[in-house]
Structure 1
Amino acid sequence: MCGIVGILGREPVAPLIVDALKRLEYRGYDSAGVATLEAGELTRRRAQGKLVNLEARLRSEPLSGLSGIGHTRWATHGKPTEANAHPHATDRVAVVHNGIIENYQALRAEIRAAGRTLSSETDTEVIVHLITMALDRGMKPVQAMSETLTKLQGAFALAVLFAGEDDMLVAARRGSPLAIGHGDGEMFLGSDAIALAPFTNSITYLEDGDWAVVTRRSVQIFDEAGTLVSRPMTRSVAASLTVDKGNHRHFMLKEIYEQPEVISHTFGHYLDFAESRAELPEGAGIDFTTVERLSVSACGTAYYAGLIGKYWFERLARMPVEIDVASEFRYREMPLKPGGLSLFISQSGETADTLASLRYCRQAGQRIAAIVNVPTSTIAREADFVLPTMAGPEIGVASTKAFTCQLSVLFSLAIAAGRQRGFLSEADERRLVQAAVELPRLAAHALKLEGRIERLAKELSKAKDVLYLGRGTSFPLALEGALKLKEISYIHAEGYAAGELKHGPIALIDETLPVIVIAPFDALFEKTVSNMQEVAARGGRIILITDEKGAAHASLETMETLVLPDVAPEIAPLVYSIPVQLIAYHTAVFMGTDVDQPRNLAKSVTVE
């Protein structure tokens, strides 16, 4: 996750910005930069690599400005070079950006047609030029920002500094988080309260779609429609914490809301958005043409991520996949061909059963790949190919953002495998990568269902049992949904392949049983509708999670229908996982359980 910091200060801000960026290092990054106003003119210092490189640059070329913005970047569009590092700037405006501008190719063409030259490979640079072009037409900075926001498609957080405007920062949030810190004659912006903890504990969190004009003495916040709005100021306890809940009641909810951001950064690590192709990073360059069969092993939620990955590898790369829960894999003495590839998935990288399975495969002469969220973990150290997720610290025991980041890695690998093995054309690859580009926006859209889900969860909290159904990749997601509900609400729940309904589970259905059906309008939708009709005929209370076409074609009475945006069927699990997580979360809240630390569970299971 990129880090954003902005300061309107009373002393030179560059050292303060760097210190604040250090507090965001847990998010991960590959370059960094600062821009300040020096006598009204924009001046930048940027560096590839860690913040120590930026600090060295600032020691040799110091900045003295009292207003500035800073950034730590995870590369998405363009390699991690100084030229691609933020802030991006013209002589009139500087911008730091977290997220993805989906329509940047069209905007680049518009900018070039206007005779302007782009100097980086990034999507961010188009924002700089759009604002500058508006200023050149005579617009004031706030007007230029307002117009530019209407042209941007995607999920993003922005901090903008204007030449000649020493007492103004403009911020915007659509999908990615952004907070305003209030000081005494000084103001601050940050990706989260952690960055601002040394300066203030008075925080205002921008809501999705908000943009704000910040001066040293005031804040004006506008919603997406341009209406002046008021957002509450809260007291942050981030100064005493490594990670802060922000304005969320639980870490789990905060982590659910971080998904548009972390998904974008995970995809950015494995996909070249500029060229619309899968480009595995150095150290993860697996030659899939030599893989006859992929063996996958994991536990819990990571296992369900692997199950979805199995569908992707088999469909996109025509690669046979064998998958087991690690606690079974390690004991069933699976025959393995030396030189084969085994893949292990773990959030912590310390899961005992998964680690034991890895070592079994190592002894059998397998090459080892690991998808982990902690790159210094034991599983990562013992793997031949380390495939990191970019989820950042996940505090809630019930995995949310780590799950969708695992899916992001698996989807990227499946595309790469499909291309290498000749089963995906260049056009196929381009279409699938473009679908990934759109995911942060679609995930942010899914989060807008929270209000309806909260009302639904009040009814679900009265249930003793819940059944989840799905077909295709929605089947593993049904398993994951049932697991989430069990983990944190303590309500008994089961996930089934929808086609298995009449092979046993149908006996459970009566008017007291909620049945949650995950059914995007895809090639399997009509068959899932048939299963829903079987439920309806027996009085079951159906909760349908689908899209607009699915809602229109289902023509069944439901307890609730949650309508998600249209999404490419291959990547539907990444979007559909969000309402599944919110259902579990809000049901648990109504039940009064300890959401972040449910009974009997641990975040990392390091014993058998």
Structure 2
Amino acid sequence: MCGIFAYLNYNVERQRSHILEVLFNGLRRLEYRGYDSSGIAIDASSSSPVADSSTLHPLVFRQEGNIESLVKSVYQEVGAMDLNMEESLSVHAGIAHTRWATHGEPAPRNSHPQGSGPGNDFLVVHNGIITNHKVLKETLLRHGFTFESETDTEVIPKLVKYIFDQSSEGEGGQAATFSQVVIEVLRHLEGAYALIFKSKHYPNELVACKRGSPLILGVKEFAEDDDGGFSSSNGNPKELFLSSDESALVEHTKRVLRLQDDELVHLKDGRVSILKFSSDRGRSGGVLRRSTSVQSALSVLEMEVEQINKGTYKHYMQKEIHEQPESLNTTMRGRLIRGGSSNGKNVLLGGLKDHLRTIRRSRRILFIGCGTSYNAALAARPILEELSGIPVTMEIASDLLDRKGPIYREDTAVFVSQSGETADTLNALEYALDNGALCVGITNAVGSAIARKTHCGVHINAGCEIGVASTKAYTSQIVVMAMLALAIGGNTISNQSRREAIIDGLFDLPNKVREVLKLNQEMRDLASQLVAEQSLLMFGRGYNYATALEGALKVKEVALMHTEGILAGEMKHGPLALVDENLPIIVIATHDSCFSKQQSVIQQLHARKGRLIVMCSRGGAASVCPGGASRVIEVPQVEDCLQPVINIVPLQLLAYHLTVLRGYNVDQPRNLAKSVTTE
């Protein structure tokens, strides 16, 4: 996964230094999407509206490392070339990219923008993977092109150059438009991508398109039409932005258009053209058809600038852990009903109401996800089975596809993804749709691919999450799936008291999370005792098997400590061999139906001199650790199906403090990025 960003000012005077800072800040907002290398492209010569390829000279800067490494190197290079940073440009198009390496090591040659060859006639920034790049590369090599990188992306600008040259040599020698050249290129590409193209042959123009990777257009207009709205065809002064994520747009504008798959946007002369394209190679030519008008497609971002700033916190992960009471409130707002005696207590999920009857008749319900989203679904499975009476199976998206596991028309498949763009989950969604299942999406991103392609779904409303290690999205996902269980289960006499207890627990959950956040210093003290350890085990069962998995995932992904979440019922089937007086073991033993079994686990680990850390319900230390032989973490007690929301918070705090104490970057863990939009 990578982050791509572009900025075009039209009839708006901007100094070159300002243009650079807009591009740099865009990358800073997107750095969580990739931070092993980055690059930008701007124009060195005049970018007047009448500029042509003879006067326009693109400058490409690429650097290994984080964004600040790029910023430093750019200013050093422009200083050495005596480029006038104060020159005012009324029209200029710049592109930028931050990379998470998939093809080729992090290095300037593998960074983006990737170019078409000497002179950089065409430049491209890319998020995704081109699966047929080897075939394309072989073809281009036969036509005399040479390659400098190991990336799959480099075939794209070289293919653009080849097609452009061919079109220029055609009948009458008239070159095709930028859109026409790009659409011909797209007909040869296979895979997932979001692309932004820049060329000195089409000065002050940008073309962008997407398939399977996110891309958003932002519009900031400085004059209104007579009707008071934005027009895609006027020449009013404006600034236009393209970004992988809304977090890079909100500080500039809240008026955005989320590009759909197989849509192409052409920015030229202050005009925005949205076109549909087809990659069907069987079709002759590259005929484009106009898509939905820009005016009707523009929406308003709900995000605020404050959400993308750290505020008083040192790291995004820390901020997002402490935002969980608010994110849970937002997730439940308007969905929980605590009416009078006639209405009772109920849950309303508007995105599902027309499909509840079909879901209730399902042969089975499949939860499908990856990583943290899979763990959230696992935490919710028991309550869904209990209230619905429908068999619930769990599927890791990649494994489902590898096995080609059977999915039937009578199934309901629930796809859980924080970003709504996770590649394996999207592929599994296509597979389920092909097999006729009812598909439900649970995401944190309005307008994401999963939100669009599923038949129905629920937006979790957790708010912007920038830290790579998901925290508030995880707890909000569990709450949404608990509400899903209530909605599917229906309000029957037999389950009325259970339902009402869960709804009361949901209302009180944010307050309980505030209480458990007070353990922050205690978890920091525990982290200081574990900071030098090489391994850590976490045991859970029932509702809290998922807590053990997710807690272990948090520690391993940010603190870089080997940590394993283990189903406590499997302890005697291998893991017990690891237990000694040195290996730290966290056992989750809050009060639920599995409590007595966890007491037995603790006794057996203690008998083998295990170094135990026990998480238990407040006031329950004596019942789990007689004689005070183990360290205890006491948490508030809530309804059993909601306990995973409470129990994960101390483990999130532990992971955070371990990472800080070990000297690692909390928000940019090694080899990982926020949303895996490539396979």
- Which TM-score bucket, shorter chain as reference? 0.5 to 0.7
The 5 Å alignment of 1:202-217 reads none
Task: Give 3-state SS (helix, strand or coil) of 1:473's partner.
Answer: helix
Could you tell me which amino acid in structure 2 is paired with residue 249 of structure 1?
A: K
Q: 1:254 aligns with which of 319, 325, 328?
A: 319
Deviation string 1:334-367 (CA, Å, 9 cap, x unpaired) is 2222142110000000000000000000000111
Q: What does the per-residue CA deviation read over 1:240-263, in whole Å, with 9 as the maximum and x for residues that have no partner?
A: 876111111110011001111111
Q: Distance in 1 between matches of 2:447 and 2:338?
A: 27
Is this contact kept in 2: 1:284–1:385, CA < 8 A? no
Partner residue in 2 for 1:555: 625
Q: Work out which of the residue numbers 278, 281, 286 in structure 1 matches 2:347.
A: 278
Which letter does structure 2 place at the counterpart of 1:260?
Answer: P
Change (3 A) 1:239 1:300: closer
**Residues 539, 285 of structure 1: CA spacing in aligned structure 2 closer, same or farther, 3 A cutoff?**
farther
Distance 1:256 1:327 in 2: 28
TM-score normalised to structure 1 length: 0.59
Superposition deviation, residue 428 in structure 1: 2.5
Cα distance in 2 for residues equivalent to 1:378 and 1:240: 24
* Superposed displacement of residue 280, structure 1: 1.6
Residue 544 (structure 2) aligned to one of 471, 474, 477: 474
The one of 324, 330, 336 equivalent to 2:395 is 324
Distance 1:551 1:424 in 2: 34
Distance (whole Å) between structure 2 residues aligned to residue 606 and residue 574 of structure 1: 27
After superposition, where does 1:272-421 map in structure 2 within 5 Å?
A: 272-274=337-339, 275-283=344-352, 285-287=354-356, 288-419=359-490
Within the candidate set 584, 587, 608, 1:514 is matched to 584
Q: Which residue of 1 aligns with 2:518?
A: 448
For 2:496 and 2:441, locate their aligned partners in 1 and report how far apart those are by CA, in whole Å. 27
**1 CA distance for matches of 2:445 and 2:353?**
15
Deviation string, structure 1 residues 562-590 (Cα, Å, up to 9, x no partner) = 11112111210111111111111111111
Q: Which residue identity is paired with 1:462?
A: A
Match of 1:523 among 571, 593, 597: 593
* 1:113-167 alpha-carbon deviations (Å, 9 max, x no partner): xxxxxxxxxxxxxxxxxxxxxxxxxxxxxxxxxxxxxxxxxxxxxxxxxxxxxxx
Q: Distance in 1 between matches of 2:307 and 2:348?
A: 33
d(CA) in 1 for partners of 2:637, 2:332: 20
Contact 1:419 1:426 in 2 (8 A): no
Deviation of the 1:282 alpha carbon: 4.2
**Distance in structure 1 (CA, Å) of the matches to 2:251 and 2:426:** 38
Mapped to 2, the partners of 1:239 and 1:353 lie a distance apart of 30
- How much does 1:599 deviate? 0.7
CA distance in 2, matches of 1:330, 1:345: 16
Deviation at 1:286, TM superposition (A): 3.0
Q: 1:345 to 1:240 in 2, by over 3 A?
A: closer
Residue type of the partner of 2:639? A
Counterpart position of 1:606: 677
Query: Which amino acid in structure 1 is aligned with residue 346 of structure 2?
Result: R
Alignment of 1:584-599 (within 5 A): 584-599=655-670
Is the aligned partner of 1:495 residue 2:565?
yes
After TM superposition, the structure 1 stretch with the greater mean CA deviation from structure 2, 581-590 or 285-294, is 285-294
Give the alignment's TM-score, normalised by structure 2. Answer: 0.53
Name the CA shift for 1:239/1:386 in 2 (closer, same or farther; >3 Å): closer
1:544 to 607, 610, 614: 614
Residue identity (%)? 39
Q: Which secondary structure does the structure 2 equivalent of 1:485 belong to? A: helix
Matched residue type, 1:495? G
Gaps of 5+ in 2: 1-248, 253-302
1-structure distance, mates of 2:516, 2:307: 28
Tell me how far apart the structure 2 counterparts of residues 351 and 341 of structure 1 sit (CA, whole Å): 19
3-state SS of 1:466 partner:
strand
Partner of 1:602, secondary structure, is: coil
Partners of 1:284 and 1:355 lie apart in 2 by 24
CA separation of 1:331 and 1:520: change in aligned 2, threshold 3 A: same
Structure 1 residue 308 displacement after superposition: 1.2
Q: Which residue of 2 aligns with 1:463?
A: 533
Against the structure 1 CA distance between its residues 450 and 407, is the aligned structure 2 distance closer, same or farther, given a 3 Å change threshold?
same
- Greater Cα offset, 551-560 or 359-368: 551-560
Q: How far apart, in 1, do the equivalents of 2:566 and 2:619 lie?
A: 23
> Match for residue 292 of structure 2?
none
Q: Counterpart of 2:372 in 1: which secondary structure?
A: helix
Structure 1 Cα separation of the partners of residues 432 and 573 of structure 2: 35
Q: 1:502 Cα shift?
A: 1.3
SS for the counterpart of 2:620 is helix
> Contact between 2:587 and 2:614, CA under 8 Å: does it hold in 1?
yes
CA contact (8 A) 2:363 2:410 kept: no
CA distance in 2: counterparts of 1:500 and 1:350, whole angstroms: 34
> Distance between the aligned counterparts of 1:604 and 1:564, measured in 2?
31
Query: Matched residues in 2 for 1:305 and 1:526: separation?
Result: 24
Cα drift, residue 424 of structure 1: 5.2
Q: In the aligned structure 2, how far is the partner of 1:531 from the partner of 1:423?
A: 37
Is the 8 Å Cα contact of residues 251 and 305 (structure 2) preserved in structure 1? Answer: no
Give the 3 Å change call, closer, same or farther, for CA 456–575 of structure 1 in structure 2.
Answer: same
Cα distance in 2 for partners of 1:594, 1:424 equals 51
The amino acid of 2:579's aligned partner reads I
Distance in 2 separating the partners of 1:424 and 1:385: 28
Distance 1:558 1:265, change over 3 A: farther
Secondary structure of the residue that 1:468 maps to in structure 2?
Answer: strand
Sort the Cα spacing of 1:452 and 1:346 in 2 relative to 1 into closer, same or farther, 3 A.
same
Q: Determine the C-alpha separation between the residues in 2 that align with 1:390 and 1:285.
A: 21
Corresponding position of 1:207: none
* Offset of residue 559 of structure 1: 4.4
- Say whether the 8 Å CA contact 1:370–1:386 is kept in structure 2: yes
CA separation of 1:585/1:354 partners in 2, compared to 1, >3 Å: closer, same or farther?
A: same
1:605 Cα offset (Å): 0.4
In the superposition, relative to structure 1, how do residues 467 and 239 fare at CA in structure 2: closer, same or farther (>3 Å)?
closer
8 A contact 1:317–1:424 mirrored in 2: no
CA distance in 1, matches of 2:304, 2:569: 52
Q: Deviation per CA, 1:261-314: give whole Å up to 9, x if none.
A: 111221224322344211222455432322220011100000001111211211
C-alpha separation between the residues in 2 aligned to 1:267 and 1:424?
25
Gaps of 5+ in 1: 1-193, 198-237
Are 1:245 and 2:245 counterparts? no
Q: What is aligned with 1:534?
A: 604
Aligned in 2, Cα 1:251/1:386: closer, same or farther, shift over 3 Å?
same
Give the alignment of 1:82-101 within 5 angstroms: none
Amino acid at match of 1:414: A
The separation in 1 between residues aligned to 2:610 and 2:665, in whole angstroms, is: 29
| 1:458-499 CA-partner distances (Å, limit 9, x unpaired) | 111111110000110111110111111100011101111112
Deviates more, 1:269-278 or 1:251-260: 269-278
Match runs of 1:28-177 below 5 Å? none
Contact 2:380 2:641 in 1 (8 A): no
